[in-house]
Amino acid sequence: KNQVEQSPQSLIILEGKNCTLQCNYTVSPFSNLRWYKQDTGRGPVSLTIMTFSENTKSNGRYTATLDADTKQSSLHITASQLSDSASYICVVSGKTSGSRLTFGEGTQLTVNP
Amino acid sequence: DSGVTQTPKHLITATGQRVTLRCSPRSGDLSVYWYQQSLDQGLQFLIQYYNGEERAKGNILERFSAQQFPDLHSELNLSSLELGDSALYFCASSAPGLATTGELFFGEGSRLTVL
């Protein structure tokens, strides 16, 4: 069964600090991995999409890494801001026809002043 | 603004009732997806339509149904509502032919409260 597991479940950091969120998946064969940011009560917004051949991708202060061999991804947030407080969701897509997106449960990040 | 429009934003109704949620995808997107997100839970895939045809089905209850119309807007019908159906319902759309390889754009959701 395709699964996506994220850790930690929740994280509290101080404004200005860096943090790293983890995503492990079992989806195979693998097509792409996405990170979404979801503010409370809002729709998820895409941060990055990475294919099998990409190891790292940045979007401003967000940098995602992918190790397709170990089936792991991380999202690193640099110099956190209060507006970074949100749920960060890892989503993995399979390669076979009929594949659908497999969603992680998300990491709830709280950035405190 | 993702370009995906969902109405209504909020809906309060009673158990046993029926409601319809509406979604207009981004211009040009043929695929529409529906997701349910209960309080403090992850997104649960309900159903996908592609150019008017049902493409994939997830954990959608028999009390729920959906359709995609010729103008590509979609409706999610929820009937015989129960307290546990209270949730945020998200619609998402993706570009033609890129159902699992391309960008997925989410609407702002419809918050359903069943009393």
pLDDT higher than threshold 80 for residue A96: no
| Residue A94 forms contact with B (CB below 8 Å) | yes
Cβ-based contacts of A49 with chain B (< 8 Å): 103
Instruction: Report residue B39's pLDDT band, with 50, 70 and 90 as the boundaries.
Output: confident
Cβ-based contacts of A99 with chain B (< 8 Å): 100
Record: contact A45-B45, CB cut-off 8 A: no
Residue of A nearest to B42 (CA): A105
The whole-number average pLDDT for the span B66-89 is 97
Closest approach of chain B CAs to the CA of A103, in angstroms?
7
Instruction: Report residue A66's pLDDT band, with 50, 70 and 90 as the boundaries.
Output: very high
Cβ-based contacts of A101 with chain B (< 8 Å): 45, 100, 104
Higher pLDDT, A101 or B87: B87
Closest approach of chain A CAs to the CA of B9, in angstroms?
11
Give residue B7's pLDDT. 97
Closest approach of chain A CAs to the CA of B44, in angstroms?
8
Q: Average pLDDT of chain A?
A: 92
Determine the Cα–Cα distance for residues B74 and A74; give it in Å rounded to an integer: 34
Give residue-wise pLDDT tens across range B51-76. Answer: 999 988 888 999 999 999 999 999 99
CB B78 within 8 A of CB B60: no
pLDDT higher than threshold 70 for residue A97: no
Give residue-wise pLDDT tens across range B3-33. Answer: 999 999 999 999 999 999 999 999 989 889 9
Question: Which residues on neighbouring strands pair with residue A49, listed in sequence order?
Answer: A34
- Tokens 């729709």 appear where? A43
Q: What is the DSSP string of B24-46?
A: EPPTT--EEEEEEE-TT---EEE
Count A/B contacts: CB-CB distance under 8 Å.
Answer: 52
Beta strands per DSSP E along chain A: 4-7, 10-14, 19-25, 30-38, 45-51, 56-59, 62-67, 72-77, 86-94, 101-103, 107-112
pLDDT higher than threshold 60 for residue A98: no
| Residue B16 forms contact with A (CB below 8 Å) | no
Give residue A101's pLDDT. 83
pLDDT higher than threshold 90 for residue A31: no
* One-letter amino acid of A95: K
Give residue B1's pLDDT. 85
